[in-house]
Amino acid sequence: MSHKDDASARLRAKKMNLQSLYLQKILALLAFLAAAPAMSEEAQQMGLRIVTFGSGPIDGAYYEAVNKVCASFNQNPIEGYRCSTDPTPGSLYNLNALKRGTLDFALVQSDLHREALETASGSYFAREPLELRSVISLYPEPFTILVRNDADISSLADLRAKRVDQGPSSSGRRPTVERVFGALGIVGSDFAELTQHALLVALEELCAGSLDAVLLVIGHPNSAVARTLKECDVHLINASGSSLRKFVADNPAFTSGTIPSHSYPELLEDISTFSVMATVMTREDVPYQLVERMAQIMIDHWEGLRKAVPDSAGMSKDFGWTAGLTAPLHAAVATVFDNQGLDPKAPVNR
């Protein structure tokens, strides 16, 4: 077999592996959707109220984190309640679903959390006022730039004239990417191509050579990123520079930090970047007792929960339970902190 044929065979194998992972996630989602009506009917027959907790795509850390929270809740439930992990497209969907009342709790990026409170008419959100309330923050999500080895990209500025994925409009990463572009004076016409793929599709296209770079807002380590780094000709680059430092300094929802080198075997050193926080939100009208129990579970079971969420070690600082929160705390959450003598702003070992 020639060198060219061997390289083509390896590329096909890598693509098949990513497609297999994508198919597994799709099948899991279909199984969940198929089971949901039966679960709802069974709950009604038992007189249970299903607590809907919006997560994210089933291939992501949001889904894993919410799954862990709901499992802990259901082991020690409030009588008459059961928690359901609801897969969703991401933060933007979650915010509007909270407003509509179709979700009781949701994970939301801290920058979108902040914008929803500051701009009732923001372009990404339902235009009616949002009676959102904060519960707790879980972990940082670094801005992540994954590029092909042959794309000659060493900084965000090098993305011009390249084929870049910014994420679908329903995802949380999309508006974050657009804010970063705005801070750097980058516009859509600067790119050879600007795509809107879901995470696994974008990584598959990057691996196949159809894209030069994929921009993510995601906790690390991430299984899909790990597989892409291992099997494809790609690497991570820094998100740094004076313009980005000013952007972070001017936006309280962001903080400077790193992707630790121990996140992936392929990393030889920490990657400099900035981060948003994954925050848990609810609504003012969600029952006091329910919010109190949910907050208590996340605090009491943090050691177990941290095993389900990305490792935040290596960030610029430890974060308090309220890091990145903009909406007022739900009254029940404030009670939990008071009763346990916790300072919600004090650093938490994460």
Q: Could you tell me the residue range of the domain that residue 289 belongs to? A: 23-140+277-339
Alpha-carbon distance of 345 to 251, in angstroms, equals 18
- The predicted pLDDT at position 310 comes to 73
Confidence of residue 223 (pLDDT cuts 50, 70, 90): confident
Q: Would residue 324 count as lying in a domain? A: yes
- Identify the domain boundary among 255, 275, 295: 275
Q: pTM of the full predicted structure?
A: 0.80
Alpha-carbon span 61 to 45, nearest angstrom: 32
Average pLDDT of the residues in 163-179: 92
For 249-282, the pLDDT digits (tens) are 999 889 888 999 999 999 999 999 999 999 999 9
Is the residue at 211 inside a domain?
Answer: yes
Q: Which of 240, 275, 310 is the last residue of a domain?
A: 275
Q: Which of 260, 275, 290 is at the close of a domain?
A: 275
Residue carrying the six token digits 């198929």: 34
Does 38 or 88 have the greater pLDDT score?
88
Average pLDDT over residues 123-150: 81
In this predicted structure, the answer to whether residue 146 has a pLDDT above a threshold of 50 is: yes
- Mean confidence (pLDDT) of the chain: 84
The answer to whether the beta carbons of residues 259 and 107 sit under 8 Å apart is: no
Cα(335)–Cα(291) distance, integer angstroms: 10
What CATH number is attached to the domain comprising 214? 3.40.190.10
Whether 300 and 253 share a structural domain: no
Does 78 reside within a domain? yes
Residues 268 and 301 in one domain: no
DSSP 270-337: PEEEEEEEEEEEEETTS-HHHHHHHHHHHHHTHHHHTTTS---TTSSS-B-TTTT--SPBPHHHHHHH
Question: Which of 38-52, 199-213, 233-247, 315-329 is least confident?
Answer: 38-52
In this structure, are 287 and 249 located in the same domain? no
Predicted confidence band of residue 71 (pLDDT cuts 50, 70, 90)? very high
pLDDT of residue 348: 59
Q: Structurally, how many domains does the chain consist of? A: 2
Residues 202 and 305 in one domain: no
**pLDDT for the residue numbered 294:** 96
Specify the DSSP class assigned to residue 134. Answer: E
Residue 32's H or E segment, with its range, is: helix 3-45
Residue 15 lies in a domain: no
Long-range interactions of 23-27: CB distance < 8 A, separation 24+: 25/57, 25/58, 25/59, 25/200
Residue 53: enclosing H or E segment and its boundaries?
A: strand 49-54
Radius of gyration of the chain (CA): 20
Statement to judge: residues 296 and 307 lie in one domain: yes
Q: Are residues 180 and 261 in the same domain?
A: yes
Examine the domain organization and report whether 297 and 268 are in the same domain: no
Same domain, 36 and 131: yes
Mean pLDDT of 41-57: 79
Residue type at position 163 = R
- Mean pLDDT value of segment 53-79: 91
22 pLDDT higher than 90: no
Distances (CA, A) of 349 to 195, 243, 286: 38, 31, 29
Residue 92: inside a domain: yes
Quick check: is 4 in a domain?
no
Q: What is the pLDDT of residue 129?
A: 47
Residues 149 and 94 in one domain: no
Of 105-119, 131-145, 296-310, 325-339, the one with minimum mean pLDDT is 296-310
Residue 226 pLDDT exceeds 70: yes
- Residues 295 and 348: their CA atoms lie apart, in Å, by 15
Query: Same domain, yes or no, for 103 and 28?
Result: yes
In a domain, 9, yes or no: no
pLDDT at 61: 84
Residues 257, 150, single domain; the answer is yes
Long-range own/partner contacts, residues 157-162 (CB < 8 A, 24 or more apart):
157/184, 157/241, 159/186, 159/190, 159/191, 159/212, 159/213, 160/186, 160/190, 160/191, 161/190, 161/191, 161/192, 162/191, 162/192, 162/212, 162/213
- Whether 217 and 335 share a structural domain: no
Residue 207 maps to a domain: yes
